[in-house]
Structure 1
Amino acid sequence: MGDKKVWFVTGAGRGMGVDIAQAALAAGHAVVATGRDADRVSAAIGEHDDLLVIALDITDEQAAYTAVDTAVARFGGIDVLVNNAGNFYAGFFEVVSPAQLRAQMETNFFGPINVTRAVLPVMRRQRSGHLVTVSSLAGLVGQEFCAAYAASKFALEGWMESLRFDVEPYGIGTTIVEPGFFRTELLVEGVSSIWPELSIDDYDARTGETVEAWRSMNGAQGGDPVKLAAALVALVDSPLPPRRWVAGADAVSVVEQKARQLLEQVEAHRGLSSSLAHEDVTT
């Protein structure tokens, strides 16, 4: 995919979405950059002849179809979709309200589904394309204070792993990106990070301590999103883009540990697990 392609990037008004859009433009591609506030997207990315900015709330299914139609009218097709938009509802499960949990799923899970549903007919007609969904280390490894966020990202992982079987016959590839901690705006309070609405005595002290810890991390994360964006564009442009990309040294280390734990847990009960066949099954 080294030739000029049309990239459709969600969440391009701030954070990693800006860097991905700019990296794709720098690599010679055309970019459709979307975000809730089109003016913010334009200001963040800057002017470019191959840039189309569209206002898009990914939780609005009809708006996704309208944005895709606008992109196709301008560029003739869509070659790479980057599902990047998302947010972070932090908190212990019992103090994250039901409304907050649903809102987390609407943005981080159903949002990418809305946009992908709108883009896939275009890619199927082309018999080519690539779907990139930005998940998280929290999509592979559950973490404290991340029950809602991890649930949304684990859902993304299962959807994308299964979706590839649906779309590969039509020349469409898939890549899941699992970043560790990168210096983006994900932890900016009130912008991408939302704290729990509920209060329970047993959790109050822990919640306060954990919120302060998260706040202290903002701006001090070890990963460089500009480097991640450039690497992602290079991977998608490569002859065989990966189906999964664990991004960041911290993420690599944690995923390796999780993989070892899974194998250890399988081995610990291998005999019992393998003894459960029905008696009429020949083994």
Structure 2
Amino acid sequence: MITSLIFAQQNDPARYIDVATFNIEWFPCKDDGAMMQRYGIHLSHPPRGEATDVRALFRMLSRLNLELLAVEEIVDTRMFADSARHYMGDRYKFIYAPGRGSQKVGFLYDSTRLRLIGAPEVYNDLLLKPDSWLRPAFRAYFKTLPEGFDFHAIVTHLKAAPRGWKQRQKQWNALHEILRKLPEKTGDADIILLGDMNNVSKRREQEFKPIMDELGFYRVTRELNGMPSNYWMADWHAQRLEASLIDQIFVSADAKVEYIEGSVHVAGMCASAFDGYVNGDFPLYYRKISDHCPVIARFRVDRDDD
């Protein structure tokens, strides 16, 4: 009886929020190289695939019914905001970090469930140098409605590729200082850090584990137990995709009290948990939406223990 009551409370929408991270591959260009060029993006090897299927993307997001979505790789921020309103309703608001690079990070949130408090903060420390095309980190402070859990959400999209580790290492050092100082600076130690961490070197989780352990953060995505968050082209000639987990969610010790253990899961093509795909036999999701998938975690909001 007690177990049933706890389960019912955890699945009562008034008592929780779903928070997610999602890299929406070069939205809205995806693999359309000609569209990229119209946005001023000139890659050395432009892709020749399809643009984002905007309708399919937002239909999926509508079904997920998320309260807070951290997004990465948004090229056209106005189109993203307009599409969210069109397909999901006026209650969804979009905020993002401006910057020199073509890929933006930001938050899409349900304004009937979350109130944005104060001005968001852009952390240009992660750019490493002023003329960098890297992405900044972006923080927003939210409070659940009507009254309950309030927390900092920080979205990041770190330098890509195995050879990018030295830059990621510097970015992690910058994040270490941001996360260390934030509780004292703001008076709230509830922090959710999420995004595309690109931990693709041979170090894998060791890219971030020493820093996160030192700060006392819990890696929520460790609970995925091998489930992937994205697929990458391991062999262009053989048209072979391999699965990996590079989209991460971390919570501070204080925010872990609100996190519902075991709730983390992946959506999209990653929910199938396939190790990979061969001979170009790829799911429509991969061709039309993204090479990444939403990673979702649930938090209690009927109390605030800070």
> Which has the larger share of helix?
1
> Which has the larger share of strand?
2
For the pair shown, the structure with the greater C-alpha radius of gyration is 1
- State the TM-score, normalizing by the size of structure 2: 0.38
- State the TM-score, normalizing by the size of structure 1: 0.40
